[in-house]
Amino acid sequence: MTSDHPDPSPPSPATDRWVVQPGRPLVGELRVPGDKSISHRALLFGSLTTGSCQVTGFLPGGDCLATLGCVRGLGIRVDQLGATEVVVHGRGLGGLQAPTEPLDCVRSGTTMRLLAGLLAGQPFASTLVAAPQLARRPMARVAAPLALLGARITTTDGRPPLRITGTPLHGAEVTLPVASAQLKSAVLLAGLFATGETIVHEPGPSRDHSERLLAALGADLAVQGPTVRLRPGGSLRPFSLAVPGDPSSAAFPLVAALLVPGSRLAVTGVGINPTRTGLFDVLQRMGARLTIVPTGEQGGEPVGTLWAEPGGSLRGVEVGGETVVRAIDELPLLAVAACHAVGVTVLRDAAELRVKETDRIETIVTELRRLGAAITASPDGFVVHGPCPLQGGTVTSHGDHRLAMALTVAGLGAAGPVTVEGTACVGDSFPGFFSALAAVGALEGDCRP
Q: Residue 137 Cβ, how far from ligand S3P at the closest point, in Å?
A: 9
Q: Residue 313 Cβ, how far from ligand S3P at the closest point, in Å?
A: 30
Residue selected from 47, 49, 133, 182 as contacting ligand S3P according to rule CB under 6 A: 182
Q: Residue 29 Cβ, how far from ligand S3P at the closest point, in Å?
A: 26
Residue selected from 31, 37, 395, 410 as contacting ligand S3P according to rule CB under 6 A: 37
- Annotate 72-93 with DSSP letters as a single string: HHTT-EEEEEETTEEEEE---T
Indicate the residue among 139 and 328 with the shorter CB distance to ligand S3P. 328
ω into residue 389 within 30 of 0, thus cis?
no
Cα 224–142–59 angle (5° rounding)? 80
Residue pair 392/416 in contact by the 8 Å Cβ criterion: yes
How many residues are given for the chain?
Answer: 449
Under 8 Å CB-to-CB from 366, ≥6 apart: which residues? Answer: none
275 binds ligand S3P (CB under 6 A): no
Nearest to 326 by CA among 281, 378, 259: 281
Beta-bridged to residue 30, according to DSSP, are 267
Task: Compute the distance between CA of residue 144 and CA of residue 148 in angstroms, rounded to an integer.
Answer: 7
Interface mask (CB under 6 A) for ligand S3P, residues 186-215, using x and -?
--------------------xx--------
Residue selected from 246, 329, 330, 400 as contacting ligand S3P according to rule CB under 6 A: 329
Indicate the residue among 246 and 309 with the shorter CB distance to ligand S3P. 246
- Catalytic residue of the set 208, 329, 400, 428: 329
Indicate the residue among 45 and 307 with the shorter CB distance to ligand S3P. 45
**H helices present in 293-346, as ranges:** 322-326, 331-339
403 binds ligand S3P (CB under 6 A): no
Indicate the residue among 112 and 443 with the shorter CB distance to ligand S3P. 112
Task: Compute the distance between CA of residue 419 and CA of residue 407 in angstroms, rounded to an integer.
Answer: 9
Residue selected from 32, 68, 112, 328 as contacting ligand S3P according to rule CB under 6 A: 328
Q: Residue 287 Cβ, how far from ligand S3P at the closest point, in Å?
A: 27
Residue 329 annotated to the active site? yes
Residue pair 23/192 in contact by the 8 Å Cβ criterion: no
Which positions touch ligand S3P (CB under 6 A)? 37, 40, 110, 180-182, 185, 206-207, 328-329, 352
Give the active site residues.
329
